[in-house]
A and B are shown apart, each in its own frame.
Chain A
């Protein structure tokens, strides 16, 4: 009989091949963003010219007007979205977790809906509404910002709600038994306990926004509102120079930074403040609906 502790060679092989397959193409794309030449398939030596090269050529991410504006647009949108979606989402999560009246159930449904709506449907919906009803909102940054906040809110609610349930109401009630008003209990007990989920939400919303393609593309306006993913989409098939790879690499580094920050903050603060075990993975597991 085969032993349970046998080395699972077949599984190791499949997993190793999968990991290589998933990572090598991207690694090559990153490698060629540092190529000392215009080719994206023949290595000509290391250089950072596609990132910060000469202003005179205007061929690097820093000096090519279209690449630079895409980078600025992506960062602007992500920061704006993060600052607006997180507070709205946190308040919604607290409200939905405690509100027991009529209307709580429908509101909860409304919050879950964006999570299961294919992005293209939301893109079409927002495009049509800005085109026909809210025509005072111009396509471009404003429309993209409103769209990004809309799909981000529900993610914040899911993250914060997990933490809320883990904390429970005991701490708050203890504070009120000791004479705190409901407001004080919230401000001085609940919010500090929620801090990890709050900071994680900031970072996740930033990452969601900067990573978004479909909504940004449906709501794009003037050339200055083209984001990095939209620029990658329109440029990838036109035999672009390695500066496009460099732009994509910058996006990757920024996203990894945001998500790593979220993970570290969540873990660190979560442990220090206590209030229930709740790992980031469980949060992801909740997306199983």
Chain B
């Protein structure tokens, strides 16, 4: 490793001072124009006006002229209106699905990372497989299975069950299980990585000091993997809160509508409501940022405690 003195010398040699920002420049400009500006456009539309003739939202780029009336209307609807019901349902679905992901995913990640033995590589391939398959294909497969003349009903028919519900219209549990099915691989993988990093000698030390296997798990393995669980939860919860395709494909009924469906509808289908869609997107963003902040604070605290 070069010492600081050497690097300082090195940086003054030739043109290196502006070379590195130059390398970063195209990417930074691209992200500024196609990530930051679009991000700002959400606010400009949400706080803009409605064109009186064309009845479409007009962006207001100057924050001094922002009109918060649409945003206030959305907030009002969110606390006590119809959107509030959709938001609460979204939160319930996401938390339920995430809890199921932990319940199913933890044992699988634990087994594959620490106990799978000789066939570990095969198990790893199998839990990675869903990553290589498009999300929409995986959902479409369930639409096939659950359709009225699909394999699920054929199978249940064999057991004499005939008066079956229509799985694909407004069943809460179908949507929640669909979310679990869709996102659980993204939970398992970071958890697998975290469990995989635990040094075997730590566990052996616990056993040598007389801990039983369940004590070893609860007092060593679990605390050491908690950050992996949290990381996996963040990875699946971010996209789940914005999901709209899973409920559309597996239900399509207003009974199972999530907040993503409302945004999708206001932006993609009824363009005159673009401002409402943009305002809801801001609400979603703030909510998700809150989760993210909670995660970062927890991780920070955990690392500080570990250092002490």
Chain A positions within 8 Å of B, measured between CB atoms, are: 1-2, 4, 8, 10-12, 14-15, 18-19, 21-23, 25-26, 28-29, 32, 40-41, 88-89, 91-92, 94-96, 98-101, 103-104, 107, 110-111, 113-114, 116-129, 131-133, 146-147, 149-150, 153, 157, 168-170, 173, 176, 181-182, 211, 213-214, 217-218, 228-229, 232-233, 236-237, 239, 244-245, 248, 251-252, 255-256, 259, 281-282, 284-285, 287-289
Contacts and interface: CB of A to CB of B under 8 A. Distances in A.
Contacts of A149: 30, 34
A127 B190 contact: no
A159 B51 CA distance: 45
Contacts of B252: 237
Interface in B35-94: 35-39, 41-42, 44-45, 58-59
B220 interface: no
Contact of A182 (B7, B19, B37): B19
Chain B residues touching A, majority SS: helix
B30 A88 contact: yes
B242 interface: yes
B27 A19 contact: no
Nearest to A20: B126
23 contacts: A11-B111, A15-B108, A15-B112, A19-B126, A23-B129, A25-B142, A28-B145, A29-B144, A40-B147, A95-B23, A99-B21, A99-B23, A110-B36, A114-B35, A124-B263, A125-B41, A127-B268, A128-B45, A149-B30, A150-B34, A173-B10, A213-B136, A288-B190
Nearest to B153: A41
A8 B111 contact: yes
Given A92-B24, A233-B248, 9 more contacts: A18-B127, A23-B126, A91-B27, A99-B21, A128-B44, A128-B278, A170-B2, A182-B19, A244-B140
Contacts of B219: none
Contacts of B190: 284-285, 287-288
B230 to A, nearest CB: 9
Contact of A91 (B23, B31, B41): B23
Contact of B144 (A32, A118, A169, A252): A32
Interface string B265-304: 0011000001001100100110010001000100000000
Given A26-B133, A103-B21, A110-B28, A116 B292 contact: yes
A102 to B, nearest CB: 10
Chain A residues touching B, majority SS: helix
Interface in B158-214: 168, 181, 184-185, 189-190, 193-194, 196-197, 207, 212-213
A129 B41 contact: yes
Contact of B140 (A89, A101, A236): A236
B284 A118 contact: yes
Contacts of A214: 242, 245
A150 B31 contact: yes
A89 to B, nearest CB: 7
Contacts of B20: 94-95, 98-100
B129 A218 contact: no
A71 B252 CA distance: 26
Contacts of A259: 131-132
Contact of A256 (B23, B132, B264): B132
B224 interface: no
B222 interface: no
Contacts of A127: 267-268
Contacts of A22: 126-127, 129-130, 181, 184-185
B107 A14 contact: yes
B281 A92 contact: no
Contacts of B242: 118-121, 214
A220 B136 CA distance: 16
A232 B15 CA distance: 52
Interface string B216-256: 00000000000110010011001101111100110010000
A126 B151 CA distance: 40
A125 B42 contact: yes
Report the 7 A-B pairs with minimum CB-CB distance, sorted nearest first.
A95-B24, A92-B27, A95-B23, A120-B242, A125-B38, A285-B193, A118-B242
Contacts of A289: 231, 234, 296
